[in-house]
Amino acid sequence: MTMLMSTAIIVLLCIIQLTSIYGYPSNQDLQEGAVRHRRWKRDAIVSFRTRPSNQTAALGDTVILHCAAHEQSDLTVTWYKGGKALTPPFTRTIFVLFNNDLLVIANRDNADRYTCELKRGNARISADAWITIRSEMKFVEAPVDATVQFGDSHVFRCSAAGADRITWSKDGQAPGSFIDGERVLQNRGDLVLTSVTLTDTGRYTCTAGRDRDGHTVEAKATLVVDVDIDGVCGRPFHATGPDGFITGGTEVEQGAFPWQAMLWDIRPTRNRFFCSGSLINKRWVITAAHCIRELGLTEQDFIVRLGKHTSVRGVLEANERSYIVEEIIVHPDFNGDTYDSDVALLRLAPPEVTFTEYILPICLPEIPEARRLIRSGNIGTVTGWGAQEEGGGTSEKLMKVSVPVVSLRRCRDAHPQYARDISQNMFCAGRREGGRDACEGDSGGPFAAFDNGRWHLLGVVSWGDGCALRGKYGVYTRLHRFRGWIMEHTEEQGRSLSSNTPGNRVRNRNVLWDMPDDAFSEVHRGTGYALVHVV
């Protein structure tokens, strides 16, 4: 025990000695020691699981700004608007939800910067988000429903404040399906239809859009196309004048003569075009009587093809439409020997012809107007797929030739052997030097005059003594002499056709094929322009 006490005394003396040398520790020394001790503990950590993101809203929209930390314990969430803390009581348009998200009703005052602050102990982090009010796009001009006459122009107006772009659709179809940059085009926001056709009927939608947020607004309008025959006849969309000189002719632009009808023999042994005609309304085509009689055709033997440009067999063109013939009416006075009264009507079976930019009727002028246009020296245009030279093959493309009308006296003098056959129901056209004329295959086609912005049907290609020969002329049916008969049948008012009227109807007659061979040779040596005359 004495030994233990001696040891304790020695230790105590050492402590006293050290204290006298270094002194007692200060409070600062004690605090620093505490800090050094705490550094061994883990610092508080806070991080975002969900950050608030910028929002663009329309006035009155509800906007939710999300904000959450990975660890929720001992976490304090504080929202700031424009740097000012949002604390209860909240306004009627800003609320902190139970899950610490922020609900904002978008209005002008609430368009601001919002900050979410997360705090745990001494650790804190924050993130900003902006709420901006979407500027409203409003239509300054919007399209309205319209009814437009066929062939007229129309503009759908469309402009919107705040829009970066305007696009159009029709019946849900993309603009490329109907805007061609020529007949239908977009000028800024407006949709311009330069010449309205029945295919333009439909529901149009103007869509105004903004690039930065993809926001769009729409306005719709319906277009109805009204067809007035008097308004559309003789007015092609692909306009062409009467100049241009078929034999000695030039190829026409597609759609330049949209009334041109092609008569196509559908019998298996034939299967080719044989004559032309002219569309005068939605149900009727005018052609030459000899085209029907000399082939002994019935309604079941051929079809009428409209909108055609090529005569090549087996080619179905995008713009063409074919129609069954419901009825054939040959003029009762038609003379197969002299070709007097060489005119026939073809009634097309339903449905009615749909007018397009490639299928339109030609005008049938009143008698005084026709007499004025058919005076000697006036120019007319003939169109068809006939031979381009006598004895040559038919043309693969629709051709035109312009020729002047000549007097009946000059015509009779030029054809002395047929002088007695050239009647008042005919007229002649051509040039003394020859070189330009209709020819085989052009029969039934139109002789038309361009006057006051319209084409008028004056004649039907009937016959000629050769093709484009010097000193010879083509002979045409003078249609105004038959205008009453034509209107009687085609106006559909009080129409009564007598099946026993001589020569009035052609039904299952076999005129040409009952002829002996020498009779057919005589027909070929004659003057008709029907394709069947070509050997």
Report the distance separating Cα 309 and Cα 275, nearest Å: 14
User: Is residue 375 helix, strand or coil?
Assistant: coil
DSSP H stretches of helix in 24-161: 27-38
- Closest by CA position to 56, among listed 210, 160, 219, 163: 210
How many CA atoms within 13 Å lie on the side-chain side of 72?
Answer: 5
User: What is the C-alpha separation between 346 and 161, in angstroms, rounded?
Assistant: 56
Question: What are the helix and strand counts (H, E) for the chain?
Answer: 8, 32
215, 290, 331, 480: the active-site residue: 290
Active-site residue, 126 included: no
Tokens of 265: 């023999």
Locate all alpha helices (DSSP H) within 319-466, ordered by sequence: 367-373, 408-414
Which residue out of 200, 265, 342, 437 is catalytically annotated? 342
Please give the Cα distance from 478 to 488 (Å, whole number): 17
Nearest to 294 by CA among 518, 506, 479: 506
Query: Tokens 């093709």 sit at which residue?
Result: 467
At residue 158, the 3 state secondary structure works out as coil
Residue 332 CB neighbours (<10 A): 14
Distance CA 135, CA 211 (A): 13
**E strand or H helix at 17, and its extent?**
helix 2-22
Is residue 429 within 8 A of residue 442, CB to CB? The reply is no
Please state the length of the chain. 535
Measure the CA–CA gap between 254 and 357, rounded to whole angstroms.
Answer: 10
d(CA 370, CA 164): 56
498 has catalytic annotation: no
CA angle 393, 289, 334 (to 5 degrees): 135
Query: What is the helix (H) or strand (E) element at residue 149, kind and residue range?
Result: strand 146-149
Paired sense of beta strands 216-226 and 146-149, if any: parallel
Instruction: Write the DSSP symbol of residue 359.
Output: B
Residue with tokens 């001009």: 141
Per annotation, catalytic residue among 195, 341, 402, 443: 443
Rounded Cα distance between 401 and 421, Å, is 25
Determine whether 342 is an active site residue.
Answer: yes
Of the candidates 109, 96, 104, the one whose C-alpha atom is nearest the C-alpha of residue 62 is: 104
CA distance 81 to 70: 23
> What Cα–Cα distance (Å) separates residue 218 from each residue in 138, 154, 355, 509?
10, 20, 31, 62
Q: Which run of H or E residues covers position 206?
A: strand 202-209
Q: Which residues are catalytic?
A: 290, 342, 443
